[in-house]
Structure 1
Amino acid sequence: MEEEDFVESKIGEVIPGTSLFDRGDRLFAGFAAGSDKEPSHVVIPRLWEDYFPSGEEIIDYLPSVFRFGKTTPDELIIERRDNEYKLFRQIEELHILHRVQKGFDSVDEFMQVANSVSNRRKSRSGRSLEIHLEHLFRQFGLEEFSTQCRTEGNKRPDFIFPSCADYHDPAFPDQNLRMLAVKTTCKDRWRQVLNEANRVGSIHLFTLQEGVSPHQFAEMKDANVKLVVPKPLHAKYPDTVREKLMTLNDFIVETKDIRRHT
């Protein structure tokens, strides 16, 4: 976990299934390029030449320039994320590439630009997956949820269903509450979500991680953590784990059904 936190603190989000390569100085300065995620070349708003759009703006713009061919939430979350990252890379190059090509007069100047790139990538990765999930929940009829709800100890779980108000209503049945934590990769980080919502007995954790060991999965199960993984990634998991995973569609259907019977 320490190694992963260190790497991501330097280069931003490490996307499962992709790789980064470059010289060490460029890699840890945040300038490394992905081997299989080239920038897109779509038409973007002219205003974006003057400022770097927020993650919400980029994601909202995706349907204007990309045609999504997938039809299930499990396939769409991967397709949407891939296209968003390509668009992000296009905007990043628009703002940064000319500066890098021009060169730097000092190490301090280089580090200033590198830190700006790294911080922007980290800022994007922190919210991107959650925003995509918000869009997909609404698209597939799961419209009642709260994000960043304050719970015990001022904790802020990523999603509470059906709402933050219901969570804080003592009369609302505990068994009808759901919490979904979101982590691009879980590794040992899954333990961080265990105490974010005391009223929720079984925690759901959504991840794009490409596989966990049977031992780690058993630890999650013992801690009442249910792993939610997009269906196309299930093949990356051991056979003994695969059959016990939830798909994103499973989670959406189950959570909607609970609300219907409230």
Structure 2
Amino acid sequence: MDLIGANEKPVWNQLKELADSSTRLFVKKLSRNDTSWADDPSKHQAGFYIPSEVRESGLFPPLVADNPDKPHIFRAPCPSFWPQTGELKPSNMRHYSNKGPETHFTTIPHEVFRGLHPGSLLVCGRLREPMAETAHHWFLVLDSESEECELLETALELSADFRFSLFDPDAINDASRFEADQLEDLIGKIEHALRTGTLDQFIKDVTALPRPNELAAQAKAEYLRVTGEPDLDPFRLEAPGDAIMRISRDVEYAIFRRYELRRRAAEVVKVLAEQKRGVADAVVRSFPDLDAIFLSASQQRKTRAGRSFEFHISSALADGKIRFEEQAITGGRRPDFVLPDLRTLKRADRANADAIVLAAKTTLRDRWKGLSSEALRCHVYLATVDDRVMTPVIDELARERITLVVPESLKASKDCFYSTHSNAISFKQLLTERIPFGMRTR
């Protein structure tokens, strides 16, 4: 790769090009310890940490204790290429064996680590041929709010609880990640439909995706089958919020993508098959139709994600025998959940607010605005599985007297900002400490 102008290329293109030139990839969700130094000039030890499992995998050079006076310090030079800045850095790895298992990776560009949202990703690859004869490793930092981060999460199917892993570089280009036999089966069915002139019927058969509640029910059933749990009773589960996050973000999404691939692949084949002048001509002339297909797919994914989250919260409330109403209209508003019911909410007053409003947003951004404990005259809780929420947003919610409700693992995680805020609680805390016993039917 030509170093000159490398940082002018789109980040996703850089990533794919570098992955194609690499033998192995390392992806890590950056913790606050990995990045806090970049925004704090008082911190002198700049760098991120490499887990011991990755350090010992052969991806990085072996560490050596080369100072007899300090045998607990293991080190190795590891020159690195940073395409976002176009720099080659004389990086180093240091492992202080008396302090813990992780290895510190230092001498890196500060600017790519500044102002990152929680949940951002570090991507590293080991090159087949070294850059400028010295750098065998390259690094990219993807902010969790960026499109590139979303693309990588989708391509590698990173789960909600992902922390770090090693990957085959081909995974970047294998966006579907379905088993080979499933892909071959679908290809065979579409080719058969083309040969027999039944593609329209095939598309008709696969166009109707399961309704959101049906898809969510399939995901819940799959989760219960795999875990052996009888239901989602939040009073019995140790971490009901984690269960809801895993079902809605991982299990259901995997099921949805199987349905989506059949439908969208058939639609694209139909559009291209109607052009008779070759692939290039078909793609160029049919681009508006292809663009519409992918836009529709993107919008459907976002709609599904939000409704899925609400369904699984509803399922947990029901399994816990908690009284609630969904989408009850009050004063022009339509809260996701009112506990125990709308009638109680309407008679509640500021001195004795014995009702609860629970809103649900998979990601926050500014979409929570409009919620108000003052206007609703009750306790307002906002449930989310968003691990990228920054302190200013949490503080703004606190000023509005809105309590965030997050999965147990996110509340405890040092990688997120929830652990230090009292107006951010876990699902378990909400259900066992904040919901009065009188709202239960048992």
Q: TM-score, normalized by length of structure 2?
A: 0.45
Does structure 1 retain, via aligned residues, the 8 Å contact 2:348–2:355? no
What aligned pairs does 1:128-207 form with structure 2 within 5 A after superposition?
Answer: 128-142=308-322, 144-152=323-331, 154-169=332-347, 174-194=352-372, 198-200=376-378, 202-207=379-384
Q: Residue 353 of structure 2 aligns to a residue in which SS?
A: helix
1:229-257 CA-partner distances (Å, limit 9, x unpaired): 10111213237625652111111222142
Question: What is residue 77 of structure 1 aligned with on the other side?
Answer: 244
> Which SS does the other structure have where 2:208 is aligned?
coil
The answer to whether the Cα contact below 8 Å between 2:381 and 2:403 also exists between their aligned partners in 1 is: yes
**What is the match of residue 124 of structure 1?**
304
Residue 218 of structure 2: aligned partner: 61
Q: Which structure shows the higher helix fraction?
A: 1
Q: Which has the higher strand share?
A: 2
- Measured in 2, the distance between the counterparts of 1:196 and 1:32 equals 41
Higher RCO structure (Cα 8 Å, ≥6 apart): 1
The corresponding residue for 1:95 is 263
User: Cα deviations across residues 208-229 of structure 1 (Å, max 9, x unaligned)?
Assistant: 1114333332222121011111
1:167 Cα deviation from its structure 2 partner:
2.1
The alignment partner of 2:366 has SS state of helix
Decide whether the 8 Å contact of 2:212 with 2:308 is kept in 1: yes
* Structure 1 CA distance for aligned equivalents of residues 244 and 317 of structure 2: 11
Alignment deviations for residues 133-166 of structure 1 (CA, whole Å, 9 cap, x no partner): 0011112232x111111111x1111111101232
Q: Is the 8 A contact 1:146 1:163 kept in 2?
A: yes
Question: In structure 2, how many angstroms separate the alpha carbons of the residues matched to 1:151 and 1:227?
Answer: 21
Distance 1:50 1:239 in 2: 41
- Pair 1:252 & 2:252 matched: no
Q: Which amino acid aligns with 1:60?
A: A
Deviating more after overlay: 237-246 vs 81-90: 237-246
Q: Secondary structure of the residue that 2:381 maps to in structure 1?
A: strand
User: CA-to-partner distance for each residue in 1:52-105, whole Å, 9 max, x for gaps?
Assistant: 111100111224444242743122112211100110011101211233356634
Contact 2:362 2:385 in 1 (8 A): yes
Aligned partners of 2:324 and 2:341 also within 8 Å: yes
Q: Percent identity between the aligned chains?
A: 24
Q: Could you say if the C-alpha distance between residues 125 and 238 of structure 1 is closer, same or farther in structure 2, counting changes exceeding 3 Å?
A: closer
Cα 1:52/1:169, change in 2 over 3 Å? same
Aligned residue number for residue 228 of structure 1: 405
Separation in 2, partners of 1:83, 1:18: 22
* RMSD after superposition: 3.5
Greater mean deviation of Cα atoms: 115-124 or 226-235: 115-124
Equivalent in the alignment of 1:241: 420
5+ residue gaps, structure 1, are 1-15, 20-26
What's 1:214 paired with?
391
Give the Cα–Cα distance (whole angstroms) in 2 for the partners of residues 40 and 65 of structure 1. 17
- Residue 329 of structure 2 aligns to a residue in which SS? coil
Q: Which amino acid counterpart does residue 77 of structure 1 have in structure 2?
A: I
Q: Distance in 2 between matches of 1:237 and 1:221?
A: 17
- Partner Cα distance (1:226, 1:33) in 2: 28
Contact 1:186–1:209 (CA under 8 A) maintained in structure 2: yes
Q: Under a length normalisation based on structure 1, what TM-score does the superposition of the two structures give?
A: 0.73
Q: SS in structure 2 opposite 1:189? A: coil
Unpaired stretches in structure 2, ≥5 consecutive residues: 1-117, 122-146, 158-175, 183-203, 230-236, 273-281
